[in-house]
Each structure stands twice: as structure tokens, then as C-alpha cells.
């Protein structure tokens, strides 16, 4: 009996057909997920992101300056036009406010981020290898609503998008000197979005070039060394250096200036304190509000570890090869994460930001691997399931927080327009039965938690065109709007601690009026505890002496509004 075997050409055509159908299905699923991930942004009235309202208020102030609308903003603020990072999202928000409301402008900005981040991951993966496994792109979705997004760090979150597009472009064109001009524009965009991502990009590119040079030398004879190094210099090093040099000059000029920003500790470094191995193991940068997110983050970490082990086991040689530059980069970035201080310039989120970069570069290194169809299909299903689970968690949390944000902002109609507003958020004890049910991460994951209420007052200020005296961005030298020095409440009230991240409260409300001749018109108090702590009593003594209580929220009584009483 004769058995007919398919020809090799027929088998290849069949395999290509299967791969094409699989990619088409993945593409459709990818686009559907992008649409689903937009739901939390548009489903609710508020986006409960910690610093989000302050970004909107700052953009609203800048919009007022650009339209020459006479307002109280001109009395309290001045523009800061130095070439500083952290400008991109403020410029986008301000531009959107010419065509829509501030709240919708924020939603459009976050929508743009959610759409572009998965596309940027896919672009960078294809920069490593044109036929990169499509399932790896689904790793972008668990990253969408990461900790920095829920902290409201718009510039940093958007910088990850620009970082991936810039790195993907460089990977494609690093040996084409003619593309240095476009690379310069991308690097400029990266710098003006966030300084961290610009510096990390330079580090990544430097390590990749160094690894490329070492690999070329190891595969060449001594006689070929000069020609190999000359080619690397002319095709890669010089074009990249020409694109980076102008931006580095701006960066150094900015860093050399005296900071007018946070008066918190500039550098905190204790090796035992800074390692944060628990955060690394649990990928805590993906965790914001719930222990369920922690489970999903650990699952993502296990996927990355499993793929790394699989890729290394399938190698012909245990030695690192020329294509392993991104793995070397990942190891370097992990070293940076481990050695970096837990806080810098008053920020306690340094390591939480740094942790995202080795995750991204490891994803890119995995793009060079070959994976059986069974693994690809299984991981696509697993990653989609994790992504949907994290989306449901975020959506549920946003709905829960919106109820409290509506209560907080209910004070707005009682505030006169063009007034000054100070918001005081009094933290409740951890065991307070009346406080909102917010998840507190275990200390081995992260020693602090998001406080979603500390900047809600930005929405109130936008609604009433009021000056928000606890607008921390106006006290920093890398935002486009600053307080006038003679009216800066952070200097006059000694109020660096007033955001109340578990610290003792120091807000001298009455002293502000005595030193500036301008009283604080309204004070909004958000208090979820049954009674103030002992260290908070001084605030209520000041309010009792010069202010009258004009509103208490009917929902739970958490929000109260005090109005200044002019002396008789």
C-alpha cells in the first residue's frame, strides 16, 4: 500500500497559513483589549488618581495665562519657562482645554496613554525582531494601570510610552546614521516628558553599544579590530551621540540649577533599607489598591521567569551571545534598582519607578526567542486572563472611590469663584471603623500606601477657578507654573508636611494672612476619623478663631468647609 506524504512546500504553506490565522486572531484580541482598558476612564465621573487633580489644576492655571483671562491666578502664580522635563502632559492637557473641559481633557490624555502603551510595546518588540512572538505584546496590559498611573504621575507614565517608541526606533535604525535627526526629536520628546526615562534610555543604549562592540571584537581577529571599531564608531556611536548630546546639555543645565522644589531629604540611602527585595519579587510596581493585584503581579513575574529559564535552556551554549544585549541591560537595570536609594529629592517612589524598566527590557529580550505554538497559545490565554482580572479590579476600585470623591467635591458650590482654598486631609487611624476600606500593602511589598484623597481638592479649585494653596507642583522648579515667592504657602506656612502622609501636621493658617495680608478664604477639611488626633487639634483651634463652618457633607460627614470671618 502506497502512503502519500505531503511535500515540504505544502507543509510550509500550511504552517504559514496557521501562523497567519493565529496572528490575525491575536491582532483582533489585542485591539479588543485596548478598547476594554478604556472603560475605567470613561465609566465614572472621576478618575481617582492621587495626583491627577493637581495636574488638571496646574494646566487650568496655564490655560488662563495663555488666554490672558484676568483672574486671581495672575496674583499668585508666575510661569516657569526654563527648559525643564515634566512638561509634556501639562502642555497636552493645556492644549486640550482649548477645545474641551478640564475633566474631559484628563480623560483624553489617559485614553491616549492606554491606547499607545500596548502599541509602543509591540513596536519595540518588533524592533528587536520583526516576527516577534505576538503573545509577548499582551504583557503590556497588566502594565497599563500600574502604580505610577494610580499615583497620578502622568509625565512618568507617558514617558514609558515615549521610551518604548524611542528604543524601538533606535533598535531598528542604530546602524543607519541618516536617521539621527528623527532620533534627536524622539529623545527631545522623552526628555521633556520625564527625566528618569531619558537617563534610563541613555543607559540602555550605552550598554547595548558596549555589548555590541565586545561581541564584534570577540568574533573578529586582531587585524580586523581597527576596521570593526571604525565601523561601529561611524555607523552607531557617532550618530547616537550626536542625537543625545544636545539633550544632555539641556539636562545638565537643568540639573545644575538650584532646586526650588521639595524641602524633603535629597538622598536617603541605607543598603539594608533600600534593597526592597520583597517589592522586586512581587513586582510591586504593578500593585496599587488590592491584594488581588498582588496575586496578578506575582503571576506576571512567574511568567517572565519561566520564559527566561525556557529561553536559556534552549540555547546551544550557556555563554551569552551577541543577541543577549537586552538581557545584559536587564541585569544592569536590576542592579540600578537594588542600589538606588528608597527616596530622592523628597520622593518615596524612586524604586517603584525603576522597577518597571527591567521588566520592559526583559520583555524585549524574550522577543528574540523561539516558542512552540502550544506555549504561545497557552500564554496568550493566560496573559489575557490576567489582564482582564486586573481590569476588573481597577474598575471596581475606581467605582468605590468615586463615591467618596463625590462627597469630597460636594463642597465646591459653596466656594466663591476667584478665591483661595486650602485643603487639609486628616488621616484616620488604621483601625478606625469609619475610614474608607483601603488596602494597606504588607511592608515587605511596600511600606506605604496610596492616599487617593490628598489632592481631590484640585477638582474643586478647577470648578471654582480658585487658587489651591496646597498645589505642590507650584512649589517645584520642574513644572510650568510656580507660586510667587512672596505668596508661596509652602514657605510661609512651613507646610511641607501638610499632605499628611502619616506625618505630624504643621499648617499655620493664620500666619499666612499675617505675613502676606491675604487670608486663606476657604479651608476644606477631609476627616474620616471620629475625632482629630492630638497633633491635629491646633488646626481646629485656628479654624475656630478665624473661620466659620458653613458646610458638612450629608453623605458621611467626612467633608467640611470653613469660610474666613473678616475681623469686625
- Helix-strand-coil split of the chain, %, nearest 5: 60, 5, 30
Inter-residue long-range contacts of 184-189, CB under 8 Å, 24+ positions, other chains counted: 184/242, 184/243, 184/246, 184/247, 186/162, 187/243, 187/244, 187/247, 188/246, 188/247, 189/88, 189/162
Buried b (16+ CB within 10 A) or exposed e, 298-309: bbbbebbeebbe
208 Cβ contact list (under 8 Å, min separation 6): 174, 325, 326, 329
> What's the pLDDT score for residue 104?
96
* Cell, residue 97: 482645554
> What's the pLDDT score for residue 57?
96
> What's the pLDDT score for residue 211?
93
Q: How many CB atoms lie within 10 A of CB 410?
A: 18
Tens of each residue's pLDDT in the chain, 568 residues: 455 555 555 555 555 555 667 778 889 999 999 999 999 999 999 999 999 999 999 999 999 999 877 789 999 999 988 888 888 999 999 999 999 999 999 999 999 999 999 999 999 999 999 888 999 999 999 999 999 999 999 999 999 999 999 999 999 998 888 888 899 999 999 999 999 999 999 999 999 999 999 988 888 888 888 898 898 889 889 999 999 999 999 999 888 875 544 444 444 444 445 556 788 888 999 999 999 999 999 999 999 999 999 999 988 777 777 789 999 999 999 999 998 877 665 566 888 999 999 999 999 999 998 899 999 999 999 999 999 999 999 999 999 999 999 999 999 999 999 999 999 888 666 555 566 777 778 877 877 788 899 899 999 999 999 999 989 889 888 888 999 999 998 888 865 544 433 344 567 888 888 899 899 999 999 987 766 666 677 888 889 899 999 999 999 999 999 999 877 6
Question: Model-level pTM greater than 0.85?
Answer: yes
User: Distance between CA atoms of 549 and 411, rounded to whole angstroms?
Assistant: 11
Amino acid at each position: 500500500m502506497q502512503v502519500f506524504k505531503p511535500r515540504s512546500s505544502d507543509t510550509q504553506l500550511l504552517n504559514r497559513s496557521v501562523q497567519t490565522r493565529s496572528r490575525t486572531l491575536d491582532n483582533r484580541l489585542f485591539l479588543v483589549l485596548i478598547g476594554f482598558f478604556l472603560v475605567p476612564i470613561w465609566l465614572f465621573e472621576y478618575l481617582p488618581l492621587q495626583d491627577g487633580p493637581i495636574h488638571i489644576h496646574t494646566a487650568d492655571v496655564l490655560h488662563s495665562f495663555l488666554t490672558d483671562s484676568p483672574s486671581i491666578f495672575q496674583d499668585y502664580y508666575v510661569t516657569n519657562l526654563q527648559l525643564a522635563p515634566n512638561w509634556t502632559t501639562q502642555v497636552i492637557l493645556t492644549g486640550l482645554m482649548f477645545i474641551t473641559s478640564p475633566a474631559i481633557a484628563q480623560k483624553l490624555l489617559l485614553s491616549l496613554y492606554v491606547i499607545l502603551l500596548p502599541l509602543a510595546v509591540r513596536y519595540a518588540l518588533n524592533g528587536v525582531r520583526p516576527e516577534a512572538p505576538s503573545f509577548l505584546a499582551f504583557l503590556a496590559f497588566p502594565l497599563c494601570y500600574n502604580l505610577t498611573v494610580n499615583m497620578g504621575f502622568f509625565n512618568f507614565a507617558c514617558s514609558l510610552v515615549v521610551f518604548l517608541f524611542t528604543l524601538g526606533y533606535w533598535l531598528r535604525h542604530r546602524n543607519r546614521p541618516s536617521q539621527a535627526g528623527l532620533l534627536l526629536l524622539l529623545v527631545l520628546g522623552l526628555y521633556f516628558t520625564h527625566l528618569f526615562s531619558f537617563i534610563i534610555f541613555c543607559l540602555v543604549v550605552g550598554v547595548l553599544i558596549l555589548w555590541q562592540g565586545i561581541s564584534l571584537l570577540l568574533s573578529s581577529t586582531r587585524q580586523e579590530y581597527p576596521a570593526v571599531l571604525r565601523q561601529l564608531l561611524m555607523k552607531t556611536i557617532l550618530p547616537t551621540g550626536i542625537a543625545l548630546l544636545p539633550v544632555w546639555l539641556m539636562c545638565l543645565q537643568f540639573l545644575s540649577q538650584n532646586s526650588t522644589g521639595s524641602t524633603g531629604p535629597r538622598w536617603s540611602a541605607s543598603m539594608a533599607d533600600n534593597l526592597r527585595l520583597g517589592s522586586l519579587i512581587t513586582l510591586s510596581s504593578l500593585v496599587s489598591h488590592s491584594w488581588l493585584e498582588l496575586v496578578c503581579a506575582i503571576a506576571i513575574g512567574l511568567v517572565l521567569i519561566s520564559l527566561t529559564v525556557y529561553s536559556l535552556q534552549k540555547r546551544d551554549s550557556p555563554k551569552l551571545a551577541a543577541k543577549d544585549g537586552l538581557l545584559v541591560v536587564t541585569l544592569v537595570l536590576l542592579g540600578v534598582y537594588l542600589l538606588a536609594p528608597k527616596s530622592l529629592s523628597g520622593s518615596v517612589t524612586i524604586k517603584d519607578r525603576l522597577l518597571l524598566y527591567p521588566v520592559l527590557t526583559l520583555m524585549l529580550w524574550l522577543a528574540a526567542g523561539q516558542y512552540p505554538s502550544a506555549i504561545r497559545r497557552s500564554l496568550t490565554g493566560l496573559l489575557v486572563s490576567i489582564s482582564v482580572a486586573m481590569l476588573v479590579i481597577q474598575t471596581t476600585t475606581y467605582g468605590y472611590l468615586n463615591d467618596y470623591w463625590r462627597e469630597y467635591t460636594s463642597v465646591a458650590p459653596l466656594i466663591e469663584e476667584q478665591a483661595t482654598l486650602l485643603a487639609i486631609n486628616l488621616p484616620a487611624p488604621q483601625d478606625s471603623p469609619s475610614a474608607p476600606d483601603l488596602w494597606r500593602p504588607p511592608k515587605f511589598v511596600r511600606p506605604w500606601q496610596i492616599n487617593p484623597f490628598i489632592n481631590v481638592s484640585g477638582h474643586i479649585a478647577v470648578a471654582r477657578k480658585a487658587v489651591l494653596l496646597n498645589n505642590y507642583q507650584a512649589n517645584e522648579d520642574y513644572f510650568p507654573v510656580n507660586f510667587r515667592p512672596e505668596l508661596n504657602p509652602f514657605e510661609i506656612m512651613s507646610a511641607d508636611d501638610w499632605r499628611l502622609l502619616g506625618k505630624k501636621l504643621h499648617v499655620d493658617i493664620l500666619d499666612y494672612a499675617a505675613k502676606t495680608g491675604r487670608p486663606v478664604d476657604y479651608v476644606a477639611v477631609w476627616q474620616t476619623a471620629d475625632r482629630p488626633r492630638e497633633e491635629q487639634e491646633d488646626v481646629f483651634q485656628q479654624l475656630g478663631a478665624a473661620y466659620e463652618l458653613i458646610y458638612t457633607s450629608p453623605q458621611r460627614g467626612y467633608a467640611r468647609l470653613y469660610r474666613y470671618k473678616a475681623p469686625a
